Amino acid sequence: MAGTFDKPEVVQEELDILLVGGGMACCGTAYEMMRWAEAVKAETGKDLKIKLVDKAAMDRSGAVAMGLSAINTYIGDKQDPADYARMVSNDLMGITRDDLAYDLGRNVDDSVHMFEEWGLPIWKTDAAGVRHDGAEAIKEGLPLLKDGGQPVRSGKWQIMINGESYKWIVAEAAKKALGLDRIQERVFIVHLINDKNDPGRIAGAAGFSVRENKIYIYKAKAIMLAAGGCVNIFRPRSVGEGTGRAWYPVWNAGSTYSMAAEAGAELTMMENRFVPARFKDGYGPVGAWFLLFKARAANAYGEDYMTKNKDMLNDYPPYGQAAVPASCLRNHLMLKEMKEGRGPIYMDTVTALAKLRETLSPKEVKHLEAEAWEDFLDMCIGQCGVWVGENIEPEKKMSELMPTEPYLLGSHSGCCGIWVSGPTDCGAPTKEEYDGIPAHLPSGWNWGYRSMTTVKGLFTAGDGVGASGHKFSSGSHAEGRMAAKAMVKYCLDNADVNVELDETPEQIAEAIWKPVRNFLEFKDYSTAIDVNPNYITPKMLQFRLQKIMDEYVAGVATYYNTNDKMLAVAEEKLEMLKEDSQKMRAKDLHELLRAWENYHRILTAEAHMKHIQFREESRYPGFYYRTDKNFVDEENWHCFVNSIYDKKSKKWTCFKRKHVDLVDKSKLFKAAAPH
């Protein structure tokens, strides 16, 4: 019987494998998984029941919704996975898992080759060194990357694409592999469910349709949780009618971190954040400008802050030795100019394009000028609006840069996320690292299935995997693929385990529909639907969260500064907000979505705050400063900070895990760098 808003229908389904999310990572998992599932069927006759649920429509869901104009991780034939692991470590201030980065580095190109095969146009350089964009490269018959075709590198790791339809292309392959019967779109997963007989094991997930009055309860042995990063926990720079404009996807609301935490999974490096320096107001990407157009950024007086302030790099590891300073340190040098009143900061697009004109043919210049626009049209259309609205022609007028509000993610230039089992075959630790368990990795880095969290059967990828980073779109896809194989193996190895949900369907339905009940019960108490002492609208609650985070947890209001006292205030206020979140109302299904997104945001924000509080140093200057511990303390804090959440007591426990370098990092230093 079809449900009503008052009485939603409860649909239950039994699966072997559930994929939560339909972004780059889950598309990778879906594609790869079907190959293994088909092999299992052919060999054993067992037909694994698989389903993917996405809160949105896969063709345009997730961070790649608008498209992209570069693939930021492609190793190619001139570097190797160890170089990649070194770069990731350097950019994230030395605390990353080399096993995860190395493993990604040796698999990521395979995903890029597939994208090209599926129709993604990739820029190429021909034998004479002339650049061709994707369509032209195809017309000219230039070889595919896998056949030795040479990409156009915007940077050492990045390659240019014509990527407006990137997500369509990747989603199409995933959909084709899965078959439409195995896909359910517009279902928002609210929480994961543990096994009744083993609380350390996953047994299912529950959510609701954002279009129909239906609650879905899935039982599954293995779950891929790849619901992206977390956006909008800090007050954004754009408010009023600009609210909703953000750099990372506003619809990724920390579901990955909060649901994993509630299921008991160990999180890692949740203190890390990414504060991208972006074109002001439109959040347009800067990578192509810095790397491809070789533009420089300067303060209002034309001074290049990277040169002017370079001695500031000597205060932080690797003490001025890195060939490319970490992203947070680049911000650190920029912020000095802003704080001391020498803003605005400008990207000098005028000089960059004039310089290019000196060496390139008119045709190439025209192409590059078109690319300056296409870079935004491909992945950040709003920035074109700003340029048009403000009469900016980049060859004539410079554009302002601005560090944004903080974002939490594990796949771009950040590394917060979930602690996962690494590959089984890399690393050569010292003897004392063996610890008897896995002979090849530091103890605690591998427990059998690649990308499995510390909860049995729960896997993650992309923004979900912590302590790595710089995977970007291609790496997230590759990481999803790597997990797929392990998930199928996990299902086979656990064929005899019958998981049981530790909550009843009635309990689940009641919990999910609580915001609707709050509304229906109290809506007639006042004459204004949004003003009511018995409930709070999700929008108002989100404002409260953003205000707390902005003012006490190092948002833009304080130039990213916080201290132990401010964190203590935030702790108390978040506690109260968490209590009040029980009073969120949902007047329709859309608001129900907003309510649960906010709940996920609050838990993620709390994890972020607790980790910053626990780490008694400022590991990421330029991203955040603890003014009471305004230094990097290599002796005591060159370690991972991990945490576990107890959903019953609602308390977090933070602890240290030892960091080990598996790849020699000395090659990073200028003396040894080849350029």
Q: By C-beta, is 194 or 562 nearer to ligand SFD? A: 194
Q: Which of 153, 166, 65 is nearest to 121 (CA)?
A: 166
Q: By C-beta, is 183 or 288 nearer to ligand AMP? A: 288
Query: Among 8, 18, 61, 267, which residue sits at the site for ligand SFD (rule: CB under 6 A)?
Result: 61
Q: By C-beta, is 309 or 349 nearer to ligand SFD? A: 349
Query: Among 51, 131, 412, 440, which residue sits at the site for ligand SFD (rule: CB under 6 A)?
Result: 412
CA distance 463 to 440: 26
Q: By C-beta, is 228 or 555 nearer to ligand SFD? A: 228
Contact 154, 288 (CB under 8 A): yes
- Choose the one of ligand AMP, ligand SFD, none that binds residue 291, judging by a C-beta under 5 to 8 angstroms depending on kind: ligand AMP
Q: By C-beta, is 33 or 401 nearer to ligand AMP? A: 401
CB of 461 to ligand SFD, least distance (A): 7
- Choose the one of ligand SFD, ligand AMP, none that binds residue 324, judging by a C-beta under 5 to 8 angstroms depending on kind: ligand AMP
Report how far apart, in Å, the C-alpha atoms of 4 and of each of 1, 10, 397 are.
9, 11, 56
Q: Residue by residue, what is the 3-state secondary structure of 536-595?
A: ECHHHHHHHHHHHHHHHCCCHHHCCEECHHHHHHHHHHHHHHHHHHHHECCCCHHHHHHH
Contact 595, 586 (CB under 8 A): yes
Q: By C-beta, is 303 or 575 nearer to ligand AMP? A: 303
CA distance 74 to 109: 6
Stretch of 24-32, 390-398, 420-428, 562-570 lying at the interface with ligand SFD (CB under 6 A): 24-32
- Choose the one of ligand AMP, ligand SFD, none that binds residue 474, judging by a C-beta under 5 to 8 angstroms depending on kind: ligand SFD
CB of 412 to ligand AMP, least distance (A): 7
151 binds ligand SFD (CB under 6 A): no
Ramachandran quadrant class, 408 (left: phi over 0; alpha: psi -120 to 50; beta: rest): beta
- Choose the one of ligand SFD, ligand AMP, none that binds residue 476, judging by a C-beta under 5 to 8 angstroms depending on kind: ligand SFD
536: which strand partners?
584
- Choose the one of ligand AMP, ligand SFD, none that binds residue 657, judging by a C-beta under 5 to 8 angstroms depending on kind: none
- Choose the one of ligand SFD, ligand AMP, none that binds residue 532, judging by a C-beta under 5 to 8 angstroms depending on kind: none
CA distance 17 to 10: 20
Stretch of 43-51, 242-250, 327-335, 415-423 lying at the interface with ligand SFD (CB under 6 A): 242-250
Q: Retrieve residue 96's tokens.
A: 């990353």
52 binds ligand SFD (CB under 6 A): no
Q: By C-beta, is 327 or 518 nearer to ligand AMP? A: 327
Q: By C-beta, is 236 or 317 nearer to ligand SFD? A: 236
CB of 402 to ligand AMP, least distance (A): 13
Helix (H, G, I), strand (E, B) or coil at 2: coil
Helix (H) or strand (E) holding 469: none
53 binds ligand SFD (CB under 6 A): yes
Give the contact letters, 248-267, x = binds to ligand SFD (CB under 6 A), - = no. Answer: xx--x--x------------
Q: Retrieve residue 202's tokens.
A: 């996953």
Torsion of CA 320, 329, 654, 582, to 10 degrees: 180
- Residues lying near ligand AMP in the complex (CB under 6 A) are found at 72, 155, 157-158, 276, 285-287, 290-291, 324, 327, 330, 413
- Choose the one of ligand AMP, ligand SFD, none that binds residue 150, judging by a C-beta under 5 to 8 angstroms depending on kind: none
Using Cβ positions, the residue closest to ligand SFD within the complex turns out to be: 23
Q: Which residues of 96-128 are buried (b: 16+ CB within 10 A; e: fewer)?
A: bbbbbbbbbbbbbbebbbbbbeeebbbbbbeee
Report how far apart, in Å, the C-alpha atoms of 665 and of each of 96, 426, 468, 550 are.
12, 16, 15, 35
CB of 463 to ligand AMP, least distance (A): 14
Q: Which of 235, 234, 237, 207 is nearest to 220 (CA)?
A: 207
25 binds ligand SFD (CB under 6 A): yes
Q: Collect all residues with Cβ–Cβ distance below 8 Å to 496 and sequence separation of at least 6.
A: none
> Position 136: which residue type?
E
Q: By C-beta, is 299 or 453 nearer to ligand AMP? A: 299
Stretch of 222-230, 303-311, 434-442, 542-550 lying at the interface with ligand SFD (CB under 6 A): 222-230
> What length does the chain have?
675
Query: Among 228, 438, 466, 469, which residue sits at the site for ligand SFD (rule: CB under 6 A)?
Result: 228
Q: Give the Cα-Cα-Cα angle 35, 39, 41 (nearest 5 degrees).
A: 115
CB of 628 to ligand SFD, least distance (A): 32
Question: How, if at all, do strands 222-225 and 625-626 pair?
Answer: unpaired
- Choose the one of ligand SFD, ligand AMP, none that binds residue 226, judging by a C-beta under 5 to 8 angstroms depending on kind: ligand SFD
Q: Binding residues for ligand SFD, how many (CB under 6 A)?
A: 41
Using Cβ positions, the residue closest to ligand AMP within the complex turns out to be: 287
Report how far apart, in Å, the C-alpha atoms of 446 and of each of 453, 492, 641, 643 are.
10, 19, 17, 18
Stretch of 66-74, 87-95, 381-389, 482-490 lying at the interface with ligand SFD (CB under 6 A): 66-74
Question: How many CA atoms lie less than 13 Å away from 424 in the CB half-sphere?
Answer: 9
Prior bond of 151 cis (ω within 30°): no
Stretch of 21-29, 89-97, 213-221, 632-640 lying at the interface with ligand SFD (CB under 6 A): 21-29
Query: Among 17, 56, 178, 298, which residue sits at the site for ligand SFD (rule: CB under 6 A)?
Result: 56
420 binds ligand SFD (CB under 6 A): no
CA distance 18 to 128: 49
* φ, ψ at 396 (rounded to 5°): -115, -25
- Choose the one of ligand SFD, ligand AMP, none that binds residue 463, judging by a C-beta under 5 to 8 angstroms depending on kind: ligand SFD
CA distance 346 to 661: 37
379 binds ligand SFD (CB under 6 A): yes
- Choose the one of ligand AMP, ligand SFD, none that binds residue 55, judging by a C-beta under 5 to 8 angstroms depending on kind: ligand SFD
Helix (H) or strand (E) holding 288: none
* φ, ψ at 377 (rounded to 5°): -60, -35
CA distance 506 to 509: 5
- Choose the one of ligand SFD, ligand AMP, none that binds residue 36, judging by a C-beta under 5 to 8 angstroms depending on kind: none
Q: Which of 62, 77, 70 is nearest to 24 (CA)?
A: 62
632 binds ligand SFD (CB under 6 A): no
- Choose the one of ligand SFD, ligand AMP, none that binds residue 155, judging by a C-beta under 5 to 8 angstroms depending on kind: ligand AMP
287 binds ligand SFD (CB under 6 A): yes
CB of 287 to ligand SFD, least distance (A): 5
- Positions in the binding site for ligand SFD (CB under 6 A): 20-26, 53-56, 61-64, 68, 70-72, 188-189, 226-228, 247-249, 252, 255, 285, 287, 379-380, 411-412, 462-463, 472-474, 476
